[in-house]
Structure 1
């Protein structure tokens, strides 16, 4: 009689195991295009494995400086290229809780590289903004809602390198955008 209960228990466990394996595995999107509204730009995110993507963005950054000597401020615009190798680590957990995972809605860690070109707007009272490269590990999250409205935040600490010096750089990037396509 005890053997029958044991066999019944093993049968139930194997049924649950088989059912769990048949559920759809949550993975990142293979190809995803977005438009960034805050800092005008275009984003392409390519999924090359179940949890990893290469995030590529080209856009126009906006900066602000104040010169105390002249008592004037200056707003400048600089084109940039932003690359991140992302690892999404909580997609299955979100799916199990019934939360959205579509369009890479999840948390990630990433290695980030941003190359900022020379400013396209200058003021003669300011030194010209020189091109720079910023490298940093970051933590972030991305959420895409039902109508493909996308918001993203990533934070980290890294190093900024330009022709004059190399210095510590806190990283904070917040974007609002729209997913294009499926």
Structure 2
């Protein structure tokens, strides 16, 4: 009888633990509009499991160059895909923190494609080429109060490659990509 009671107690504790864990999951689908210092983006996060989401994003990456008497800026289209792992969602929920909109810390691998389809620029001589990047990143996503406004920040180092015919004007270290982002947005 003692063994049966112990087995039932263990099962009840296990089911209680599973139900609490499954109650704290990322949201099924989130649409977001975000902007930062260097671009504007529209993205969707789709839940793959309790802690994993697939983020797809389209936007315009911005950049600028400044010389003594001349400053140029430009924006080019970008397509990003990120599988994200939110690793502290349950811990934040246990502490009573707002986790709506997947507000938690995450690890991701950013797959980025910058296209040479068009350029919005302050100068006529801006040259772009197709570029891909694969960048492992760490980041945070948080809500601003109880509103649908949010902010996000992340950092990572990875690999990039240009797919162009003329490489003579690149002076960057070959194939090292550093990605730092800081954005504010609105969730739908």
Q: TM-score range by the shorter chain?
A: 0.7 to 0.9
Matches within 5 A, 1:15-164: 19-23=16-20, 25=22, 26-38=24-36, 39-66=39-66, 71-118=69-116, 119-121=119-121, 123-124=123-124, 126=125, 128-145=127-144, 146-162=146-162, 163=164, 164=167
RMSD: 2.6
CA distance in structure 2 between the partners assigned to 1:107 and 1:117 by the alignment? 29
Greater Rg by CA? 1
Aligned residues: 174
2:74 and 2:126 in contact (8 A); partners too: no
Q: Please list the CA deviations of residues 110-145 of structure 1 after superposition, one character each: whole Å capped at 9, or x if unmatched.
A: 110111122333635x55122211211000111124
Instruction: Assess, with a 3 A threshold, how the Cα gap between structure 1 residues 20 and 49 changes in structure 2: closer, same or farther.
Output: closer
Deviation at 1:62, TM superposition (A): 1.3
Shift of 1:73: 2.3
Gaps of 5+ in 1: none
Report the TM-score when normalising by structure 1.
0.81
Q: CA separation of 1:24/1:127 partners in 2, compared to 1, >3 Å: closer, same or farther?
A: closer
- Deviation (angstroms), 1:104: 0.5
Classify 1:18/1:137 alpha carbon distance in 2 versus 1 (closer, same or farther; 3 Å): closer
Structure 2, unaligned runs of 5 or more: none
Instruction: Assess, with a 3 A threshold, how the Cα gap between structure 1 residues 130 and 67 changes in structure 2: closer, same or farther.
Output: farther
The structure-2 alpha-carbon separation of the partners of 1:46 and 1:9, relative to structure 1 and needing over 3 Å to count, comes to closer
